[in-house]
Amino acid sequence: MRAYGHDFASPLLLGTALYDSPAVLADSVRAGQPGAVTVSLRRESAGQLAGQAFWTLVRDLGVPVLPNTAGCHGVREAVTTAQMAREVFGTNWIKLEVIGSGDLLQPDLFGLVEAARLLTEDGFQVFPYTTEDLVAAERLLRAGCEVLMPWGAPIGSGRGLNNLFGLRALRAHFPEIPMVIDAGIGRPSHVAAAFEMGFDAVLLNTAVAKAGDPVAMARAFRLACEVGRLGFEAGPMPERDMAVPSTPTLGRAMLDA
């Protein structure tokens, strides 16, 4: 995937929360070989993984860092968090989250567009966590975003790609825009399906961090990215409503009664 002039080494992006230990996180990142890892400034400020020690761990992995505004429920809060993240992590990248629903962690699309506009004007390169809504996508692009990150399903739900029609419509409507399926991924098969639909990358966290074997699961997701992308590029056969015989009937042997 290429976004904001950067070629990501892998279409798999990994979150860094919820791992049982820093060692498990590091081993999972090495197994998954992601193109970037996401880090929440709010989470780090709370000291979940010992602040500076955690930042040192992430830096030593040699993977690009995509800070995010996870947990922000308003425009001002998200913008302020992004500005702080730029100071801490030394990057203009920001994964922008403006949450509107506490139960589903669904984006506030109105606040998201406004925050994206303000951050873009401030020099940020915004990766917006959004839905499959076409109107919101158009307004995010007008606000200056060069990539879209529609959810597959609510964060941490593991339900996969809930709205196949909506996601296909979004992909078809903006064929040249880099798109990342963000949130709701639970299995490697969900990742393969996203790539087969033409999406450029996936971002996931809980499915690896809370797997029985996070390291093995990270590797499984890496391979699923490769399989799904290869299948898409190979040109899948079209779906049909009727059966089509694989063995032709023309020229088959006929027996007299």
Residue 53 pLDDT class (50, 70, 90 cuts):
confident
Domain of residue 187, CATH code:
3.20.20.70
Q: What's the domain count of the chain?
A: 1
**The two structure tokens encoding residue 151:** 């959810």
- 243 falls within a domain: no
Task: State residue 60's pLDDT score.
Answer: 85
Distance of CA 7 to the CA centre of its chain: 16
pLDDT over 90 (residue 2): yes
Q: What is the DSSP letter of 55?
A: H
- 219 falls within a domain: yes
The rounded mean pLDDT for the chain is 91
pLDDT in tens, 231-246: 999 998 888 888 888 8
Is 95 marked active-site?
yes
Task: State residue 21's pLDDT score.
Answer: 92
Catalytic residue of the set 29, 69, 82, 95 = 95
- 256 falls within a domain: no
- 199 falls within a domain: yes
Alpha helices, H only, the chain:
22-32, 41-45, 52-60, 75-89, 109-121, 134-142, 164-173, 188-196, 206-209, 214-234
- 49 falls within a domain: yes
Task: State residue 7's pLDDT score.
Answer: 96
Q: Which of these, 222, 185, 219, 227, lies nearest to 204 by C-alpha position? A: 185
Domain of 144 in residue numbering reads as 7-234
- 104 falls within a domain: yes
How far apart (Å, rounded) are the C-alpha atoms in residues 201 and 166?
17
Residue 47 pLDDT class (50, 70, 90 cuts):
very low
pLDDT over 70 (residue 172): yes
- 241 falls within a domain: no
- 220 falls within a domain: yes
Task: State residue 46's pLDDT score.
Answer: 46
